[in-house]
Structure 1
Amino acid sequence: MRRRNILALLMAAALCLCLLAGCGSAETTDSTGTSITEAATIADLKGMKIAAQAGTFHADALNQIENVQGSTYPEFADLLTALKSGAIDGYIAEEPTAFSVCQSDDTLTFLPFMNNDTGFTATASDVGIAIGLKKGSELREQINAVLAEITPEQRSALMEQIVRLSSGGEVTEFAVSAEEPENPTGTLRVGMECAYEPYNWTDISGASFGAVPISGEGKDGLYANGYDVQIAKYVAARLGMNLEIYSIEWDSLLPALESGAIDAVAAGMSPTAERSAQIDFTDTYYESNLVVIIRK
């Protein structure tokens, strides 16, 4: 009797393992049976569990997916954790972010949708990023004049370099750069998350090429780098100013700007109508497609 019980337990355990293995290997499909890895348009994501960062246009774009099981997370790191754990099927991101994430993790890939075609309906203000300034800031015209110096080719080349750098590749020069002023006329204080590769991130074990020390209490030994950082460096240098970078949580960026704690926000932020009612924005300095990052 005892032997039979043991044998039964062993068989039950083996059956459970087989079932678990089957669950782990099953591909996510939409309501029509299309695998998410085969999705060619956002219509193929119907009914799937797709997420986005809270408080962004990405979160609004979720509603463009029919019957989506949508959810939001406060940080991109949380989205990545949710995806890898299987809590979600994918999450919306800018194409450069997808390149950076997928180059760093070979278990992930992304669906290369094209805005206003196979992908999400979006305007330049939805997917472009700009520098945020306090209402009525005199810096707006000055910064716009500096941004106008940067050609579309330079902007694209800089993003390619930044993606390579964020993925552990070597970069020895940037397509957009300027000499720091010998006699600065002031300091430009810029806020960003320092947690949104490749736009901005934190170096915790030494500075990567072109990184800037993060200012503020408790930030000793930490450096900021990314596309936003290099644009901020260029703008500050061309304005004849020193640059200070401050690491601030996403939801606290606009309050910090309005309170005068910082002079500008450069955080991969889109100049949406809602934000533009609260702060001023410069012209955009990069525009991107929205894609969906998924497991392979």
Structure 2
Amino acid sequence: MLFPSFHATDMSPACIGHYCGRPVLALNGTAEIYGECGVCPRGERANAAKICQTCTESPELYDWLYLGFMAMLPLILHWFFIEWYSGKKSSSALFQHATALFECSAATIITLLVSDPMGVLHIRSCRVEMLSDWYTMLYNPSPDYVTTLHCTQEAVYPLYTIVFIYYAFCLVLMMLLRPLLVKKIACGLGKSDRFKSIYAALYFFPILTLLQAVGGGLLYYAFPYIILVLSLVTLAVYMSASEIESFKDLLVRKKRLIVLFSHWLLHAYGIISISRVEKLERDLPLLALVPTPALFYLLTAKFTEPSRILSEGANGH
């Protein structure tokens, strides 16, 4: 069978397009035989010589932190809606929280096992070089301004598609496990309220999928700052809604300490993601800033109490 081919010594005409490349079809002795210029197979990316090369690198720390962030989003939303719909009288929230954690953890392990190389908790990847690597469909060349050479591919393999696979496993495991659990232990809730946290997941999973499809590249570069901003805002809202104004108020209920430590973990995660821990002696001391927002809130809450402000204003008149 004959293939249209180009040898390593004859690379004319030049392969155009930033993400177009020539796949290696066969080896003829020591020379490689290349195919026509076009899209590289999945798991490969065009190098500087416009030859499709297999992605063999391991993800960097920042890549793992990004994947961890995308993996945390469903879990955090699960916990939020479980807490929102469980009610104060329900004793099932803890079991649902544990089930959601199990679902996401199992989905993470399964996703890593089915990814290339299969059967191990490790993945091979292509290095992310620039924002356009996430949106190769916008860079298909038109040599004669009439026909388009389609070279759309996953240049950031597998950081783009692995998130979709993970969300699919999360959804499947939730539909298999959660309804049975909720039906047995959510006796403190009405029949119409038992499955509301599951219904909420059926809404936010498509939203997360769309978010990854459209804004995956933007999230890759912005997620550390998103974590810091959201964790600060949600911590302030929670402490205000719970009327926490002193350290004593924190110790009244264990749940408040759990929420506080969870936010501290998110703060630390965001700081590590921003610094990338490139220099330990410079970046690790930044973790000492983790408790600062909570301490600042507790020290200044008594000065911003609305009743006190109103009373002082009335006395001033």
The structure with the larger Rg is: 2
TM-score of the aligned structures, taking structure 2 as reference length: 0.25
Is the strand fraction higher in 1 or 2?
Answer: 1
Compare relative contact order (CA 8 Å, sep 6+) and give the higher one, 1 or 2. 1
Give the TM-score of the pair, scaled to structure 1: 0.27
Is the helix fraction higher in 1 or 2?
Answer: 2
